[in-house]
Amino acid sequence: MQARPLEGIRVVDYSHFLAGPYVGRCLAALGAEVIKVERPGSGDAGRQHATVLDDQQSGYFLQLNMGKRGVSVNMKDPRGKDFMQRLCDSADVFVENYRPGALDKLGLGYAELSARNPKLVYCSISAYGHTGPDAHRAGFGLIAEAKSGIMQMIGKPGEPPPLMRISLGDMYTGIHAVAAINAALLGRVKSGRGQHIDMALYDTLVSMHEYAVQCYTMQGVLPEQTGHDMPTSTLYGVFRAADGDLVIAAQVDDAWKRFAALVEAHEGPAGFGTDTRFHTLAGRNVHRLEILSVVQPWVAGRRVAQVLELLDGIDVPCAKVQRIDEVLADPQIVARGMVVEQHHPRYGTLRLPNLPFRFSDCDTTIREVAPDLGQHNAEVAQSLGFDPAEIDAMQTDGVLFSK
């Protein structure tokens, strides 16, 4: 087995909530030493997010901060500022997700830190980025999802779009930041210098549009809410069976012909499988409502398992719309190791989502649980050259806070 790709890289994770901490978790999985820095007292606001276990940590925090070492520093004390500057001098990467300019006031902006440590790769994540007329505005993933045009396209026509219930903007921006950080580290090998990476939630969601922008710029067509299927990709959508929901992807001509023949053979209307009007994507789109009027009741009259068995038999992509308990028990998820188990000294066995990294010669599964607030103050301070007396004094005075 090889060493993990980022072993020997030190990351200062000066972020909170989701996008920044997710970046830190990914870098830790890839082998970096990630030091999570939190404010004294309550720490990262994510500690009090959903599924709070006690006054220390939530399930949200445990998932996003596993594999990190934790320090809590009072930056208002000169000794705290000295601690942070020494820590950043020793770092390869600095990750933050505050509003542009906020960290300049603390002496932790890119200009000051890079002047001290020219090799530092400094990654900023914000709602709108560090340039442009909205750079000063606050925002969360929800704001970017609304602004990006993605939210406007989902849901039933004529109804307000639903919440997506996953943090698409934060997670998508986060993994792009991981890619950018690794690219900057590789570039540093040649240039000898780090640089500032400016990631915006709004930017990354706009970049996700794989067809909506082209529809408008090339044809003048504005995408609309379509409900449970896609009018431009018949047949591709969600269908309700007698005991649950499933998705069918028979939008490719060959798959459609197999699917239509199957429907006709199992109580569907005569000629449905051989109707040449439906044998091209353009034809199916024109006659979409006629097709749905056949397929929807055909699926509704059967159980999910029956439909899946029939479609698997003719190699038409399909799947049940699964609940989370079904996902966790799915043999494919189990086989891929996508649920990691950790032993926590207070909470016992934790089961949390794994990251999707798969390397042939190293294991990136994180076994170490997220740190308590300030858990590693002393050992990190020692690594920065503070002597035992200085460390004891900073802990006694609350410059290095722990809980």
Q: Mean pLDDT, to the nearest integer, of 385-393? A: 98
Tell me the pLDDT band of 1, cut-offs 50, 70 and 90: confident
Q: Mean pLDDT, to the nearest integer, of 165-170? A: 94
Q: How far lies 326's CA from each of 167, 238, 302, 321, 331, in Å?
A: 21, 18, 20, 9, 10
Task: Note the pLDDT tens digit of each residue in 184-235.
Answer: 999 999 999 999 999 999 999 999 999 999 999 999 999 889 899 999 999 9
Q: How far lies 28's CA from each of 15, 179, 211, 362, 385, in Å?
A: 14, 14, 34, 13, 23
Q: What percent of the chain has pLDDT over 90?
A: 95
Which pLDDT does position 130 carry in this prediction?
A: 97
Which pLDDT does position 51 carry in this prediction?
A: 81
* CATH number at 10-207+335-396: 3.40.50.10540
User: Residues of 172-208 as b/e, b for ≥16 C-beta within 10 angstroms?
Assistant: bbbbbbbebbbebbeebeeeeebbbbbbbbbbbbbee
Contact yes or no for 262/310 (Cβ under 8 A) = yes
51 burial level (CB within 10 Å; 0-12, 13-18, 19+):
exposed
- Structure token digits, residue 116: 């001290």
Task: Note the pLDDT tens digit of each residue in 236-280.
Answer: 999 999 999 999 999 999 999 999 999 999 999 999 999 999 999
- Structure token digits, residue 176: 């792009």
3-state SS of the chain? CCCCCCCCCEEEEECCCCHHHHHHHHHHHCCCEEEEEECCCCCCHHHHCCCECCCCCEHHHHHHCCCCEEEEECCCCHHHHHHHHHHHHCCCEEEECCCCCCHHHHCCCHHHHHHHCCCCEEEEEECCCCCCCCCCCCCCHHHHHHHCCCHHHCCCCCCCCCCCCCCHHHHHHHHHHHHHHHHHHHHHHHHCCCCEEEEEHHHHHHHCCCCHHHHHHHHCCCCCCCCCECCCCCCEEEEEECCEEEEEECCCHHHHHHHHHHHHHCCCCCCCCCCHHHCCHHHHHHCHHHHHHHHHHHHHCCCHHHHHHHHHHCCCCEEECCCHHHHHHCHHHHHCCCEEEEEECCCEEEEEECCCCCCCCCCCCCCCCCCCCCCCHHHHHHHCCCCHHHHHHHHHCCCECCC
Sign of the C-alpha dihedral computed for residues 256, 258, 259 and 262 taken in this order: positive
Q: Which comes out higher in pLDDT, residue 49 or 193?
A: 193
Count of other CB atoms within 10 angstroms of residue 274 = 12
Contact yes or no for 95/64 (Cβ under 8 A) = no
Which pLDDT does position 31 carry in this prediction?
A: 98
Sign of the C-alpha dihedral computed for residues 380, 184, 16 and 54 taken in this order: negative
Shortest CA distance to 259 belongs to which of 294, 301, 303, 300?
294
Which pLDDT does position 320 carry in this prediction?
A: 98
Which pLDDT does position 54 carry in this prediction?
A: 77
Tell me the pLDDT band of 372, cut-offs 50, 70 and 90: very high
Tell me the pLDDT band of 307, cut-offs 50, 70 and 90: very high
Task: Note the pLDDT tens digit of each residue in 344-371.
Answer: 999 999 999 999 999 999 999 999 999 9
Which pLDDT does position 177 carry in this prediction?
A: 98
- Domain map of the chain by residue range? 10-207+335-396, 236-322
- Structure token digits, residue 115: 């002047």
Which pLDDT does position 50 carry in this prediction?
A: 79
- Structure token digits, residue 199: 């990631």
Residue 72: beta bridge partners? 38
Residue 52 has pLDDT above 80, yes or no: no
Which pLDDT does position 26 carry in this prediction?
A: 98
Q: What percent of the chain has pLDDT over 70?
A: 100
Q: Mean pLDDT, to the nearest integer, of 27-53? A: 93
Q: Mean pLDDT, to the nearest integer, of 123-142? A: 97
Instruction: Return d(Cα 250, Cα 256) in angstroms, integer.
Output: 5
Tell me the pLDDT band of 35, cut-offs 50, 70 and 90: very high
Instruction: Return d(Cα 82, Cα 79) in angstroms, integer.
Output: 5
Fold of 236-322: formyl-coa transferase, domain 3 (3.30.1540)
Q: What does the mean pLDDT of the chain come to?
A: 96
